[in-house]
Amino acid sequence: MKNINLSENETVVAVGERVKMISNGKGLAWGSDSYLLAARLRRGKRACELGCGTGVVSLLAAAFEKFDHVCALEIEKGSADLAARNVALNALCDRMTVHNIDIRDARADALGGEFDCVFSNPPYFAHPGPESPDSIRQSARHEIHGGIADFCSAAARLLRYGGTFVCVYRPDRLVDLFCAMRGARLEPKRICTVFADTKSKPAFVLVEAKFGGAPLLEFEPPLFLYTDEIVNPRIRTERIEKIYEKTSFDI
C-alpha cells in the first residue's frame, strides 16, 4: 500500500484483507453484489469493467490476480479520478488502469485489443428516479448514461469471440437483461440467484454469458447471504464466509 494525500472529507477503509479504498461519502457504497461479482470472475488474461465507480470490483479482481490486467471504464470524472487514486493506493498500477470514458463509446482497438472477460454492476433502475443532490449516486443507480442494452452492446464490442460477460442485476429486470444479452449475441450460460436468507425473495442475480455461445442455460443452487437467525448484526452463512475470504466461488 502507498501513502496517498487525503482531503478533509476522505478516509481510507479496508475491503477485506487485500484492498483499501478512499471513501468521500459520495456515490454508492459497495455491498454484497460488488463482492460476489468480483468472486464470480474466473482467471484470464485481459478484462474490462463497464462502469467501475470508484473501482472496488476491479481492485478486488486485480488484487486477487484474476487477470493479468484489468481495464476499468467510468463516465463520472470524479469517480474515475478516485478509482485511479485507489489503484495507486493499492500499488496495482501494473495490473489495472482506469479510463474516464462513456461505455457507449468504448471500442476494443482504443483499449489495446479484445478482452477475455467483460464484467459490470450496471445501474439497476430504468427510470431516472427523483432528483438527488448526489448526482454520482443517482447515475450509479439509474440508467442515465445508458441502459442495460447499451452495457450489453459495449460488452459485445469489447469481447473476443467466445469471451465471457459477467453481470450482477436485479431479479425483477431479468427479462430485460436476457433480451439485451441476446440482442448483442451474448448467450446466457449460467445464473446464480442470491437471497438474503431462506425466507426472503431474491436480492440479485449473477449471470454469465458467452459472446457467440449456443443456447443452454444452467441454473446453479441458490446462494444465501445470512442464516435465518434473527440477531444484530446478522450472521453470514458458512459458504458466504468462504467466498468472501477467497474472493472466489471455487471453494
Domains of the chain: 11-246 (3.40.50.150)
Alpha-carbon distance of 75 to 100, in angstroms, equals 5
pLDDT at residue 136 greater than cutoff 60:
no
Contact 162, 211 (CB under 8 A): yes
Cell of 58: 476491479
Predicted pLDDT at 8 = 78
Predicted pLDDT at 2 = 66
Average confidence score pLDDT of the chain: 91
Q: Are strands 186-195 and 202-211 parallel, antiparallel or unpaired?
A: antiparallel
- Report yes or no on whether pTM surpasses 0.85: yes
Range name among 128-132, 136-140, 205-209 with the lowest pLDDT average: 136-140
pLDDT at residue 185 greater than cutoff 80:
yes
Contact 26, 97 (CB under 8 A): no
